[in-house]
Structure 1
Amino acid sequence: MTAGRAAVLEAPGELLVTDVEFADPGPGEVLVRLVASGLCHTDLGVIAGGIPFPSPGIIGHEGAGIVDRVGEGVTGLAVGDKVLLSFTSCGSCEACDSAHPAYCETWLPRNLLGMLRPEGSADVTRNGTPVASHFFGQSSFGQYAIADERSAVKVDAGADLTVLAPLGCGVLTGFGSMWNVLDPGEGDIVAVYGAGAVGLSAVIAAAQRNPSQLIAIDLVDERLRLAEEFGATATINAGTEDVGARLAELTGGRGVSLSFDTTGNPRVARGALDAAAVRGTVLVCGAPPPGTEIPVDIQGILSGKVLRGVTMGDTDPATLIPLLIALHAEGKLPLERLEKRYPLDEIGRAADDMHHGITVKPVIVF
């Protein structure tokens, strides 16, 4: 057993930083001493009770740290390795075999629900009583995490783990969704709805493809200014402007060829569909409460419009994370402009700041 502290979700809206015990890693697992962990909107959804996860439990899924112990069968990692933690997958289904692990047949129970764990997987306990963990194969809101080997991506010994922590989900999702799925070209008109960490990462990715227009939409002027800094050619404040009318004006009535809705709000997705061009694509991500539906006018999509969903940017973390690290080193992925650091004891304030748009990407430091 390894003693440490963690932010335990006791019930919706109730995070308590408390002492816990981390068992030795089981087969295929590593014990990671965390240096930092990003806080993601999916975490906020769980904290608010909109996304189911057992309680008391530990969430968090953008961990970054150093391997402290390795379990049986682990071959790709060793004690002392620096790692970034991302989502987990089975590694053997058709999607995993074809380099699409975000669409693993068992992705949902392995990652979001905390219900499917490998045989012999190690537990986190508090006073001898198990605490739910293994969120996204890691549960990184603690000083340690018991992580699947498949959740961990080894990085260089000199890597700044605190800066790079958000790569595991938010940045990976936004960048990957634009880079891998929408794949804009120079003739495309691109719109990104929501300029949080996911949306801004998508803006950064799109800007590198030089589309004819790159439009960012949000409610917070400071985030829109960041989007312009990162390459947006125009911005729209959805709180003060008519988004549909502005998009029609900006596109000369043509509509948007590639839209990315990061908000998880069905009204936003419907608006993106209405504003889409003939044969345009609207890509949606996020984790709204189960049962959330997007209203679709069938007549409105008969012009070849496509509504498509995406999980984790349809990425293989082992492939995309090294690319993101390289782009950061080249100054093309300015993570520092998104981040604000908080100690573990202030994780509640970090969540509130993110919820209210004060901070784009909180990073919990240990």
Structure 2
Amino acid sequence: MFKRFEQRYGVDLGTSNTLIYQHGQGIVLAEPSVVAIRRDTGELQAFGEEAYAMIGRTPANIEVMYPLKDGVVANFDIASAMLKHFIGKIQGRASWFGSSQVFVSVRCGMTNVQKRAVEEMVVHKKVKKLTTVEEPLAAAIGAGLPVADPIGSMVVDIGGGTSQVALIALGGIVVSQYIPVGGMSLDQDIIEYVKRTYNLVIGERTAEEIKKNMASAIWPEAEVRMDVRGNDLVEGLPKTISITALEIYEILNHFTIAIVESVRRTMEQCPPELAGDVMEQGILLCGGGALLYGLDQRLQSELGVPVLVAEQPMECIAQGAGKMLGYKAERAASAGSARKSSYPPEANDVLEQAGANS
């Protein structure tokens, strides 16, 4: 009789952002995966948006950090506290995941030790059932691709810490490639370039603003400029410079080339029949990096394959976990009644491939 009160969550625990999907309500939280901590006492000061606002503006005794790095848990205790705080915001109390079913996304190519760290971070909080699902598979489900069918679907997921390319068919990943670069590494490239070229020190948030406003995967059509403020390394005083879109294009071009080469390597390894499906169906871009201007055009030009950007690229993984939760709930409800599930029988393959871990 208490089963109706059981909570179900889909968690996209990303390097730069965390999104949580609650069954029946949709995405209920989307915040940066950032924590502010006091160096002297170890006390956690702020999480998410509040901590993100502190980046580059903290006194010496407060450190702002990302507890996940390259898609894996870098600091177990702080990551666990951050996730607990996010769930507390959703539920209005610090009851955490008790008696809940949770789908957590993990990146492709994780070692068993790295995957176990994610599982234990959630399980030790008394979750009733945990299922891990690989991020490209969840993204494909969230974008509405026919992953359970005998049709090849290719997904390029560009996150904050890592990028992944995966070919999916019959509910599982056939072949995949993992690239240890993402949106946050592009910010660092911009910081290093400005420091080396202009002797100017800028912060992470300034670099991110430059990326959002000027970054392009294709040759800039106009000579767009942006004023950038920082500290002069020579004089030690505030200084303003003007940087062009062409400079940013050249800084980030290596990243675009790496994505193109990763897709090529994936295509080389996939079976011929599935390669034909990709040529017909195209490639789906998702993740925050999919918003890079002209990336779809660049990939289509370089690869000769249609490329589409997901409708909500940053929400695909969380939405996919939510759809899997919805199917699981309906399957359980229909098992004890004559009611027929609205989900296709092939969806069993998706859940089986996800690898349930109690």
More helix, by proportion? 2
Structure number with greater Rg is 2
Taking structure 1 as the reference length, what is the TM-score of the superposition? 0.32
Taking structure 2 as the reference length, what is the TM-score of the superposition? 0.32
